[in-house]
Each structure stands twice: as C-alpha cells, then as structure tokens.
Chain A
C-alpha cells in the first residue's frame, strides 16, 4: 500500500428518496466516477422523515471526486432541486487510498 494518501472531496447529499434515480443519473452525467447510496432517516425543514413508507423516505448519496466536479454537481443540484425538494449537501475533505478510482 502506498504511504501517500491523496486528498479528494467527499460530497454528501441527503434528499427525498423519490429523487434517487434522477440524482444518480445526474451524477454520472456531471462527471462523478461513481457514488454510494444509503437509506436515511431524520428531521429538518420538511418535518420528520421516518422512512416508514415510501413518501417519507430519504436517501444519502456519497460521491468522492475532485473539487471542480464537486462544484459542478453542487451548482447543478442547487439550480434544479433546492427550490422544491427536500435536499441538503455538504463537502468534506477525505484521503483516499486508490486515487485513480476518483477523478
């Protein structure tokens, strides 16, 4: 294993589960090399999202990419979904072990 672990951005997106297929498609089109989706529950501006039936379910996307791609994705999400859908996103720094997997 290499000792050097290069930095990438982890873009996390929590949104309504009904957006899963659309966001997944957008991520590919906007240059992400891959993503992970996790079922999520919680509370916020859209009330309690307890996931006990489909319309109250949330998902969380995790995308590891470079800063430029993260900015493109964030801007796209902001312009297309923030106004009418429950969605938040945040960025964090991560170190990855196989940088060639994440452009």
Chain B
C-alpha cells in the first residue's frame, strides 16, 4: 500500500510537541494556512460541481444529511447514558462528532489520490452541508426548550464563521469560473495544496500534542468513545454511500466525513451556544484522539471497508 507522506509531517509535529521542542508556528501562519486550505478545497469542489447538473444531486444530499443526523443523536445517548456525562457536555461533544473536519477530509482525498482512486467531485458539497446541522442538533439537545437557545447568535457564529464563508465562497467562485476560468489560479491553489497541507499537519501535530493534558481529565470512557465513535460513524458512511451508489473513493470520503469530528467550527459554535459545556472534554476527544485516529488509522480502514462492502446494499 502506498504511504501518504503528509501524515509524516503530522507525526513530526506530535514528536516535536512531546519532546517540548521550541518549534512553534506563528499564529498568523496557522490562520493563513487554514484560509488557504478552506479556499482551495472550496474552489476545487466548485470546479467539479460545475460538471454535474445540480438537480441530480438533491436526492443524494437528502439521504446523506438524514443519515448524518443519526451521529449526534447516537453520540448524545451513548455519552449521557453510558458515559454518565451531564446534558451540556454530552450535547456539546455530540455536536463536535456530528460536524466534520475539513483537514481530515483533505488527508483522505490526498490518500485516495495517491492510490489513484477516483472520487465524485461533488463530495465537497457534502463537506459544506454536513458542517452545521449537527451544531443545531447539539444546541437542541443541550436546551430543553428552544426559547432558551440564543439562535440568532449561534446562526451568526456558524454562517459568518470563516470555514463556511471560505468553503461556500470558494465553491461559488470555482463553480462560476469553471475549469477553464480557474486555470490561472491552478498553480497557487491546486499545485501547492499538498505542500500547504503538510505544513498545516505539522502545526496540527503540535496542537494535538499540547492537548494531551486535557485527555487526563477526559477519563477512559471518553477516550474509548473517541475511537469507537468514528468507526461506527464510518461504517454508517459506507452504508449510506452504497444507498446512493457512490464509487469506492466517494464511499471512503463520505465515511471519513461521518467519522471525523469538528475542531474548528464546533468549538467556536458550542462556546457561544452551550457555554456550560467544558471545552476541554470535547476538544480533548475530537482533537486529541479522533483526529489522529482518523488520520493515522481510520482512513485506511474506511477505504478497506469501502472496497469490501461495495454494492452490499
């Protein structure tokens, strides 16, 4: 099996963090790299989306969103009943796991490209659409009555957040420009993509290493949950992909989206909408365990499952 070298940059960041290296990427670089990645992923998706008639996708979008709703609901029940977590913490963590991680998606796309596995170009549309419903579900789960929730503030936080603005903005620019129009930008956004991803993963390694302290507070149940949940959600992704006849590559990406946990949009949204929840627990689990688990182990597993279960439904 071919090995994806960008993973090694993540490992380097982890090691540097563990040995308490003085390596520290400046905060503006983190911001710049994440802006680049979000725009580039949006643009690429928009260019691909221009090749498909949109009305053909509506059925698939409905199925993908409906199945994805099961993830935060199941996570909430498991955390509250099994893990004996409070309502606020269970709801906040459920929202993190229901939402998606853009970087995990990028690593999976890169992994599939290195294996020469084709994927449906419209997967980026799923990435965008799966980012926010779980955040709403998380708030509903946390607040018994909807009048308690500060919906205006939450909606503003989610839809004006940079990840949605850049992904959706890039998607539109790519869609309007089309493959020929975007060509002058290819060198910057597409040729440099993997190099920037490598840099970002180095930074993520450092951040993850700095979060290990949070895991001690999380306890064994949450650590187990952070590895079992992506596997269960990934399997749901493969089955859903079969329902809508995605290719093996598309099924792997959908499984990765379902399995991934948000650590950019969700923490910001939950801090605003459910401030009672302890962010150390959700970020410790989503970023400290689930992100490295997916990047290092999960993605090859989802690919293997996609190959084995192709056409099972």
Contact = CB atoms under 8 A, between A and B. Distances in A.
Contacts of A48: 210, 213
B30 A52 contact: yes
Interface stretch (B181-189, B223-231, B250-258, B275-283): B275-283
Contacts, number: 39
A47 B271 contact: no
Interface in A25-70: 39, 47-48, 50-57
Nearest to B268: A18
Contact of B30 (A53, A84, A85): A53
Interface residues of B, number: 21
Contacts of B264: 54
A55 B213 contact: no
Query: Sorted from nearest, which 8 A-B pairs have the closest CB atoms?
Result: A84-B275, A55-B267, A18-B271, A53-B207, A84-B276, A52-B207, A53-B30, A51-B27
B241 to A, nearest CB: 31
Interface of B: 24-25, 27, 30, 203, 206-207, 210, 213-214, 263-264, 267-268, 271-272, 275-276, 279-280, 283
Nearest to B266: A55
A18 B156 CA distance: 13
A52 B272 contact: no
Contact of B268 (A39, A50, A54, A56): A54
Nearest to B27: A51
Contacts of A52: 24-25, 27, 30, 203, 206-207, 210
